[in-house]
């Protein structure tokens, strides 16, 4: 749709500029033609908005821009009707054409970058609903804030909308990756919620690309964190563990504390049947939150996350005794580093007791032998070799972002950040099915879980 609109509108602008250079260079005639072109452009966009395609917000800014230009064109035409008919400067027609095409292109960027993605089909029978809250952790000062304010953790719930009175469901807590946000795996949440789970997808402020605080302010990713994470991720070597380890530890401490804050608040609310001062409800939706908390079975808790969120999930699963299953979506298990000595990492060799499902992208899977032969201590390999019960899975022709919904929402951004050649719908259908079946086995006791190594 974006390309079609750009071609149609640019063609009209070029026709207008060409006519302005030919016979009809008189200003009155040119003003009339410009008004006609503006009205035609508005009509084209309005027709496009009436067509059945998703995310129409992507072309809404363009309609606003053309409406403003249309009003200006109308006023100029009305004002110039009775004036002497002077010749229009050719340069003005050309510059207007260039200006208009440029801005049309800029305003159509969302239409080029984003698809009409509306989510994937779900296999469960439950309708899915959403609600949200922000948890205020009064035991921690937010290290990114300068005013000494407490750490805030937004939580977004996906749950069965048609739950029967007194019916309870397992809880799955999700942690996004670096520069991600809570909606990174919405298709996974809806698949789980439709299958009888309550999913709590949290934001890690300043690690998330953006989120909101209790004051309603948009909190963007911290530039220092962004630069450091990008620099370490783009490094071609794994040298200097002494410099890297303190950074990894700081990241994991922040994220695991966020996850523990959410888990502890959910358990306390479930036990007491009320919300304490830690709960901030942006829309004063206590009536929506409490029923969701009451349907959580806190004896059946699963954790999962993508990338750094996967690492945090693995670490919380090791540290708590109330976690029944953990899934790591292509995350390096940074929490397994215990220190750095003599130019190498010290990795936790204690057995991992919680059932674990580990996803690795295709490139990572094929690099395993190189990692091991080079002598680099890769924490995932150490944990998997010591885990009491684990499943290792890769999907052919995938890269890091293929384990999120981003390539479905925007193939362009997906390719920029790391998406392979595998069809994204196929990849996430495989991933979501395995996630559901894994949690069904370990949280619901629904049969034994098995998986191929390669899909």
Within-domain flag for 333? yes
- The residues pairing with 21 across neighbouring beta strands, listed in sequence order, are none
pLDDT at 112 over 90: no
**Which residue blocks in 22-58 are alpha helix, DSSP H?**
27-50
Within-domain flag for 121? no
pLDDT at 19 over 70: no
Mean pLDDT in residue range 224-239: 77
Domain count, the chain: 2
pLDDT at 3 over 70: no
246 and 342 inside one domain: yes
102 and 223 inside one domain: no
321 and 384 inside one domain: yes
- On average, the pLDDT of the chain sits at 87
* SS3 call for 3: helix
Q: What is the pLDDT of residue 64?
A: 80
Which has more confidence, 32 or 173? 173
Q: Which of 59, 78, 113 is the last residue of a domain?
A: 113
245 and 200 inside one domain: yes
| Cα–Cα distance, 103 to 109 (Å, whole number) | 10
Within-domain flag for 6? yes
Within-domain flag for 118? no
Which range, 34-48, 191-205, 222-236, has the best average confidence (pLDDT)? 191-205
Within-domain flag for 169? yes
267 and 386 inside one domain: yes
182 and 106 inside one domain: no
Mean pLDDT in residue range 313-324: 98
Reported as a single tens digit per residue, the pLDDT across 387-428 is 999 999 999 999 999 999 999 988 887 888 899 999 999 999
Which has more confidence, 36 or 123? 123
Mean pLDDT in residue range 234-256: 85
Q: What is the pLDDT of residue 82?
A: 55
CATH number of the domain that residue 370 is part of: 3.40.50.1820
Q: Using pLDDT thresholds of 50, 70 and 90, give the confidence band for residue 448.
A: very high
Within-domain flag for 454? no
Within-domain flag for 427? yes
134 and 234 inside one domain: yes
Which range, 48-52, 84-88, 108-112, has the best average confidence (pLDDT)? 48-52
297 and 368 inside one domain: yes
Q: Which of 113, 145, 167 is the last residue of a domain?
A: 113
23-37, 317-331, 374-388, range with the lowest pLDDT? 23-37
132 and 242 inside one domain: yes
pLDDT at 130 over 50: yes
Q: Which of 62, 85, 113 is the last residue of a domain?
A: 113
| Cα–Cα distance, 231 to 204 (Å, whole number) | 20
Q: Using pLDDT thresholds of 50, 70 and 90, give the confidence band for residue 24.
A: very low
97 and 152 inside one domain: no
pLDDT at 23 over 80: no
210 and 313 inside one domain: yes
What pairing do the DSSP bridges indicate for beta strands 218-220 and 210-212? antiparallel
Of 178, 244, 255, 220, nearest in space to 417 by CA: 178
How far lies 402's CA from each of 15, 133, 362, 426, in Å? 43, 28, 10, 10
Q: What's the CA dihedral at 432, 433, 438, 439 to 10 degrees?
A: 60
Q: Using pLDDT thresholds of 50, 70 and 90, give the confidence band for residue 8.
A: confident
Which has more confidence, 331 or 414? 331
Kindly give, in sequence order, each residue whose CB lies less than 8 Å from that of residue 172, ignoring residues fewer than 6 positions away: 192, 197, 198, 199, 200, 301, 302, 303, 304, 439, 443
Mean pLDDT in residue range 343-368: 93
Q: Kindly state the tokens that stand for 116.
A: 């009409």
* SS3 call for 259: helix
What residues make up the domain containing 151?
128-443
85 and 170 inside one domain: no
Within-domain flag for 402? yes
Mean pLDDT in residue range 198-226: 94
Q: What is the pLDDT of residue 127?
A: 97
């Amino acid at each position: 749709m974006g390309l079609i609109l750009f071609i149609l509108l640019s063609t009209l602008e070029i026709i207008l500029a060409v006519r302005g250079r030919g016979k009809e260079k008189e200003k009155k005639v040119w003003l009339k033609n410009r008004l006609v072109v503006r009205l035609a452009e508005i009509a084209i966009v309005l027709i496009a908005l009436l067509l059945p395609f998703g995310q129409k917000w992507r072309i809404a800014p363009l309609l606003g821009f053309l409406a403003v230009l249309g009003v200006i064109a109308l006023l100029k035409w009305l004002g110039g009707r009775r004036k002497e008919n002077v010749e229009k400067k050719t340069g003005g027609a050309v510059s207007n054409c260039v200006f208009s095409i440029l801005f049309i292109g800029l305003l159509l960027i969302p239409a080029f970058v984003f698809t009409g993605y509306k989510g994937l089909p779900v296999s469960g029978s439950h309708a899915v609903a959403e609600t949200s809250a922000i948890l205020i952790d009064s035991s921690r000062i937010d290290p990114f804030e300068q005013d000494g304010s407490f750490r805030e953790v937004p939580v977004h719930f996906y749950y069965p909308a048609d739950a029967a009175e007194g019916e309870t469901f397992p809880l799955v807590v999700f942690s996004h990756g670096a520069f991600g946000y809570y909606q990174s795996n919405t298709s996974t949440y809806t698949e789980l919620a439709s299958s009888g789970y309550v999913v709590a997808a949290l934001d890690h402020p300043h690690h998330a690309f953006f989120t909101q605080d209790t004051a309603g302010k948009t909190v963007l990713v911290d530039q220092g964190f962004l630069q450091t994470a990008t620099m370490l991720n783009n490094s071609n070597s794994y040298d200097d563990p002494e410099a890297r380890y303190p950074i990894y530890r700081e990241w994991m401490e922040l994220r695991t504390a966020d996850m523990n804050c959410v888990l502890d608040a959910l358990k306390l609310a479930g036990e007491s049947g009320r919300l304490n001062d830690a709960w901030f409800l942006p829309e004063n939706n206590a009536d929506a939150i409490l029923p969701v908390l009451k349907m959580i079975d806190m004896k059946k808790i699963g954790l999962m996350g993508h990338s750094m969120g996967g690492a945090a999930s693995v670490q919380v699963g090791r540290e708590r005794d109330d976690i029944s299953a953990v899934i790591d979506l292509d995350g390096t298990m940074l929490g397994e580093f215990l220190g750095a000595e003599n130019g190498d990492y010290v990795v936790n060799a204690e057995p991992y007791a919680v059932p674990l499902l580990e996803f690795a992208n295709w490139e990572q899977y094929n690099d395993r032998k190189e990692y091991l032969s080079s002598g680099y201590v890769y924490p995932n390999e150490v944990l998997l070799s010591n885990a009491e019960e684990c499943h290792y899975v890769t999907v052919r022709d995938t890269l890091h972002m293929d384990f999120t919904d981003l390539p479905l929402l925007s193939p362009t951004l997906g390719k920029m950040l790391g998406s392979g050649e595998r069809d994204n719908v196929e990849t996430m259908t495989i991933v979501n099915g395995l996630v559901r079946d894994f949690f069904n086995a370990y949280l619901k006791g629904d049969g034994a879980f098995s998986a191929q190594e390669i899909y």
